[in-house]
């Protein structure tokens, strides 16, 4: 399928697909005329990439996860484990942000808020 067809099937811009291709997330064969020819399985994969991004995964993580899932005997189980790992990362970041917020609140009205306390 040509990039325009892939864009229509996924609801993504052609530039987005080209960007993903440059990052190695999707590959298309070059035809003799220079056009990209993407396999049909690129559609669900790109939708997976978009969903993973909305869940907070970086493109580097998605590339790594994709490789891991292709090699995992039970990808649903491995995906659940990856989600649990991501939840731990998010929880740690939330704790860090809460600590920073408490520190900022404590410094409000303290004269120079950037002095060491």
Instruction: Give Cβ neighbours of residue 65 (< 8 Å, ≥ 6 apart).
Output: 52, 57, 79, 82
pTM, entire model: 0.74
Burial 88-114, CB ≥16 within 10 A → b, else e: eeeeeeeeeeeeeeeeeeeeeeeeeee
Under the phi-then-psi rule, with left for phi > 0, alpha for psi from -120 to 50, and beta for the rest, what region is 94? alpha
Reported as a single tens digit per residue, the pLDDT across 27-75 is: 999 999 989 999 999 999 999 999 999 999 999 999 888 877 777 777 7
Could you give the CA distance from residue 42 to residue 9 in angstroms, rounded to a whole number?
Answer: 10
């Amino acid at each position: 399928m040509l990039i325009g067809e892939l864009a229509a099937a996924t609801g993504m811009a052609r530039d987005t697909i080209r960007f993903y291709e440059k990052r190695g997330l999707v590959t298309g064969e070059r035809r003799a005329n220079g056009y990209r020819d993407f396999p049909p399985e690129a559609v669900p994969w790109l939708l997976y990439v978009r969903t993973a991004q909305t869940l907070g995964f970086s493109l580097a993580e998605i590339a790594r996860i994709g490789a891991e899932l292709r090699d995992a005997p039970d990808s649903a189980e491995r995906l659940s484990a990856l989600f649990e790992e991501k939840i731990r990362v998010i929880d740690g970041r939330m704790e860090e942000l809460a600590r920073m917020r408490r520190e900022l609140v404590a410094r409000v009205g303290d004269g120079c808020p950037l002095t060491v306390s």
